[in-house]
């Protein structure tokens, strides 16, 4: 199965004519079918889709990795252009979410009021792993549907009127059955790369891993932590890594310097065959 993944929105770009923002949107095409993973934090993804020549085939699905603004705010714009697209997301995505930037400095980070009209797009099977287009699966909740305990420092949600640490029960990734094995395509990996890989291994216990594409949530990590994680991914059999969005520039530089055989440069306009 030949699956093509193109970066539509990212913090950086490979081309001067593509817009950038602190957000993520990936275009995935397989056997003439299309889905989008995430929708950035504005409607800028529409312009990038056009400039990349990726707006001629309407996506069948818009998959949302989790409920943070930099991954979901562009959904209304996408549905305005592609009204027949179906949404796939975990119901906990709709809970209010907050970020504690500094002591006493709270920032709202969840869905906007415009999402209230999206309820008809919810799937009865949104929690389960399922094949959306040929060879491309959802993982289901990485942390578990009822996850409540997770130390993350600054991320919180407000399910019933009281702020609690966000255990990210809504977070999911895409799993691609490609020519060389299984690839993981992630939005942010708030649950952690190790736990994410373990979840995918539960779903596909026998097939080898190929590539890890997307957000790794490694901003602020030390070089030693980057080394440990990369060694773990090597041991698991990953042969390619394209760090995007919240992976952070330091990790991209680290990979390019220490593991050039693994590193694939990202940014809007980057493309990888899976």
Which pLDDT score is estimated for 104? Answer: 85
Tell me the torsion sign for CA atoms 201, 203, 205, 211.
Answer: negative
pLDDT in tens, 70-99: 999 999 999 999 999 999 998 889 888 999
Indicate the pairing of strand 136-138 with strand 174-177.
antiparallel
Query: Exposed/middle/buried for 194, CB within 10 Å: 0-12, 13-18, 19+?
Result: middle
Please give the C-alpha separations between residue 231 and each of 194, 227, 244, in angstroms, as whole numbers. Answer: 11, 6, 19
Tokens standing for 47? 């312009």
pLDDT in tens, 192-239: 999 999 999 999 999 999 999 999 999 889 999 999 999 999 999 999
Res. 117: pLDDT tops 70: no
pLDDT in tens, 156-194: 888 767 788 899 999 999 999 998 999 999 999 999 999
DSSP at 118: G
Tokens standing for 35? 């889905």
Residue count (the chain): 274
Distance CA 129, CA 138 (A): 5
Distance CA 255, CA 263 (A): 6
Which pLDDT score is estimated for 57? Answer: 95
Q: Read off the pTM.
A: 0.94
Which pLDDT score is estimated for 149? Answer: 66
Residues 6+ apart with CB under 8 A from 260: none
Domains and CATH numbers, the chain: 3-273 (3.60.15.10)
Distance CA 34, CA 29 (A): 4
Q: Which of 189, 244, 213, 186 has the alpha carbon at shortest distance from 13?
A: 244
Res. 123: pLDDT tops 60: no
Contact by Cβ (8 Å): 186, 211: no
Which pLDDT score is estimated for 120? Answer: 56
Which pLDDT score is estimated for 119? Answer: 59
Res. 129: pLDDT tops 70: yes
Which pLDDT score is estimated for 142? Answer: 95
Please give the C-alpha separations between residue 168 and each of 52, 145, 151, 177, in angstroms, as whole numbers. Answer: 32, 9, 11, 25
Which pLDDT score is estimated for 134? Answer: 96
Q: Which of 61, 2, 56, 1 has the alpha carbon at shortest distance from 26?
A: 61
Res. 144: pLDDT tops 90: no
pLDDT in tens, 232-263: 999 999 999 999 999 999 999 999 999 999 99
Share of the chain above pLDDT 70, in %: 92
Query: Exposed/middle/buried for 47, CB within 10 Å: 0-12, 13-18, 19+?
Result: middle
């Amino acid at each position: 199965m030949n699956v093509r993944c193109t970066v539509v929105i990212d913090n950086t770009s490979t081309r001067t004519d593509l817009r950038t923002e602190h957000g993520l949107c990936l275009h995935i095409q397989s056997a003439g079918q299309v889905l989008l993973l995430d929708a950035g934090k504005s409607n800028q993804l529409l312009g990038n889709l056009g400039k990349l020549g990726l707006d001629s085939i309407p996506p069948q699905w818009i998959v949302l990795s989790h409920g943070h603004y930099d991954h979901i705010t562009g959904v209304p714009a996408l549905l305005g252009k592609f009204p027949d697209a179906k949404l796939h997301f975990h119901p906990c995505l709709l809970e209010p979410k907050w970020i504690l930037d500094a002591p006493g400095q709270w920032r709202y980070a969840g869905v906007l009021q415009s999402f209230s009209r999206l309820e008809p797009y919810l799937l009865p099977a949104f929690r389960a792993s399922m094949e959306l287009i040929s060879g491309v699966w959802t993982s289901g909740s990485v942390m578990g549907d009822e996850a409540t305990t997770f130390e993350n420092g600054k991320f919180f949600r407000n399910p019933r009127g009281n702020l609690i640490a966000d255990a990210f029960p809504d977070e999911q990734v895409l799993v691609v059955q490609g020519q060389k094995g299984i690839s993981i395509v992630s939005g942010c990996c708030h649950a952690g790369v190790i736990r994410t890989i373990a979840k995918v291994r539960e779903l596909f216990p026998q097939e080898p891993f190929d590539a890890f594409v997307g957000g790794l949530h490694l901003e602020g990590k030390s070089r030693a932590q980057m080394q440990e994680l990369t060694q773990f991914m090597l041991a698991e059999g990953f042969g390619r890594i394209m760090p995007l969005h919240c992976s952070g520039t330091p990790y991209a530089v680290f990979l390019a310097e220490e593991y050039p055989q693994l590193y694939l440069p990202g940014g809007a306009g980057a493309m990888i065959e899976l």
